[in-house]
Amino acid sequence: MKSSRLLVIIFSGLMIVASPSLAKPGGQGDAERAFSCMDSCHIGSSGTDSAATINIELDRERVFTGQLISLSIKTSGMELSKKGLVGVFLLSNDGSALDDWKVVQDPNGGNNNYVEKPVFSSTQGATFTWILQAPDTTGNYSIDAAVHHGVDPNPEEYAYLGRLTTPLQIEVEPMPEDLPRFSEDWKPTSSRDLGDETTIIIETEDTDDLIVEWRTDSSETILEAPLTKQSDGAWSFTLPASSVESNLTWRAKLSNPALEEITPWFTLSSSKPDYDIDELALMIQAIAGGILAAAIAIAMQRRFARPAQKGGML
Amino acid sequence: MVSAGTFHVVATELAVGTIALAGAMISLRLILSFREKHPSRLSELCDGTSLVCVVAGLCALPFAIITGVLAAPGDGLDNPLLFNKMLLSWVGIGLFSAWFYGRFSMGPNLWNYRPAAIIQGLIGLAACGSILTVASMGGKFSRGESLMGPMSKPLEYSVELGTTSSILVLIVSVAALVSVLKLMPQPYSMEFADNSLGDSEGIN
């Protein structure tokens, strides 16, 4: 009996001291992150170099304070995990998250400097496009990019890390007076449910005229959206519904007699409505299921688990 | 600051580890109950270990559920897999509670009486199965794959009751449990005695 107790104690002890696995090959999720693998999904600083080539592209030659710009990271040639998930960081030169630049729309429709997307072909790679708002102060800024992924198979659980060879240098100039632009607090709509039309209201500054163009990701044809003037400097337009999961992109051409400004392409994703459930209802349903299961199990015990000689069989 | 996700990993591994061991011990004890005339030391060990593991698992499961809800990405439980994980977790808790109740009320000699051993074993294995399914669904949710393979497909769909219906089901469930506990004959502590069970009923 003593040895039995000892074994039970040893078993229990082994279960308690077993170190938990923290591997997250499913990724870490989009977030505001600095380039550090310490809180990442693999083995901290023991990552290894990625074979990825990384290029960074800016959609314009001159950048003004507060202007909306589009920045694309093109990466290819990387090793790929079974899931093909690749994480891309947009960083300051020191590896911290972008502080001076405001992320207006990330490649997944959020506002993060780190995003993850599945990449299906290492050769073709993928392009991750951010829409950023330039800093309010002029000066020279440096934007760096890094990628983060796994490999299949990955017995050592290495994190493969790649970084841009030369960070992109951007000189932010003072915004010209009267540059037509969106109002400071405008935010893009990034997603919608399938089958829903989307009406977007744009508030502008120093803008006399506005043209909105849109296209689907399956077609290069650019169409013009009819505009409705809401008030001075404010317009609305409606983008058509989509019946399949897809992306629609649109951009605005703002102008006044002196200047013209073309915004980056904003992305509007159509997807199935989110699975939404009342958590209270779920908890009640789950607890009810547990109690019902217990009731059935105890009923079976009382019905069948009795010796006939003792009586009481129902 | 340690995230809820890290706590969830710890709580889950503790719960799943103890419950997997409980499942193995219950299976072995059930097999031994068919083979042994008198409980051996191995049988006693299996019984004791399974009891300890079930209690440890029952203690760890609520922490695993709570940290799982807190660690769920996005706005709460926005995935049918998470919904079904929650449902099956509670079913597992219910079945393990019944297993513990049966083991506690009937005593260790329940394994010497074949119907009791079979029912107790099946309840324990069903509970283990539900919790291990929950664990497998966690892999499906986070990594997109699980040991269940295509069998996990049905668990990607869920049947949700509204709040009102859930409350009604809860009332019915509580009424069923109270009825079982109050109206059905009380279990009694089984004592091992070869002759009292008889050849046709005992494990002879």
Q: Which residues of chain A register pLDDT less than 50?
A: 18-23, 38-39, 41-43, 310-314
Q: Hey, are the CB atoms on A285 and B161 less than 8 Å from each other?
A: yes
Rounded Cα distance, B86 and B108, in Å: 31
Residue A253, domain member (yes or no)? no
Print the domain residue range for A284.
2-22+275-304
Domain match, A99 and A41 both = yes
- Establish if A279 touches chain B: CB-CB under 8 angstroms: yes
Domain with residue A77: its CATH number is: 2.20.130.20
Q: Hey, are the CB atoms on A284 and B197 less than 8 Å from each other?
A: no
Interface-testing mutation among A15, A28, A309, with chain B (most B C-beta atoms within 10 A): A15
Segment 32-91 of chain B within 8 Å of chain A by CB: 41, 44-45, 48-49, 52-53, 56, 69, 73, 75-80, 83, 86-87, 89-91
What are the percentages of helix, strand and coil residues in chain B, rounded to 5? 80, 0, 20
Residue A290, domain member (yes or no)? yes
Q: Hey, are the CB atoms on B185 and A83 less than 8 Å from each other?
A: no
- In this structure, are residues A254 and A263 in contact, taking their beta carbons and an 8 Å threshold? yes
Rounded Cα distance, A52 and A76, in Å: 5
- Reported ipTM: the value is 0.85
Domain match, A44 and A144 both = yes
Domain match, A55 and A17 both = no
Residue A54, domain member (yes or no)? yes
Domain match, A165 and A63 both = yes
Q: State residue B71's pLDDT score.
A: 75
Render pLDDT for A112-147 as a digit per residue (tens, 0 to 9): 999 988 888 888 899 999 999 999 999 999 999 988
The structural domain count of chain A equals: 2
Domain match, A17 and A29 both = no
Q: Hey, are the CB atoms on B14 and A15 less than 8 Å from each other?
A: yes
Interface-testing mutation among B89, B146, B184, with chain A (most A C-beta atoms within 10 A): B184
Residue A121 to chain B, least CA–CA distance (Å): 18
Rounded Cα distance, B165 and B119, in Å: 31
Query: Which residues in chain A are contacts of B99 at CB distance < 8 A?
Result: 297
- Establish if B196 touches chain A: CB-CB under 8 angstroms: yes
Render pLDDT for A9-42 as a digit per residue (tens, 0 to 9): 776 676 555 444 344 566 777 888 887 654 454 4
Residue A21 to chain B, least CA–CA distance (Å): 7
Q: State residue B203's pLDDT score.
A: 37
Q: State residue A287's pLDDT score.
A: 92
- Residues B1-30 have a mean pLDDT of 85
Residue A232, domain member (yes or no)? no
Sequence-distant contacts of A165-170: CB under 8 A, at least 24 apart? A165/A54, A167/A93, A167/A142, A167/A143, A168/A56, A168/A58, A168/A71, A168/A142, A168/A143, A168/A144, A169/A140, A169/A141, A169/A142, A170/A58, A170/A63, A170/A134, A170/A140, A170/A141, A170/A142, A170/A143
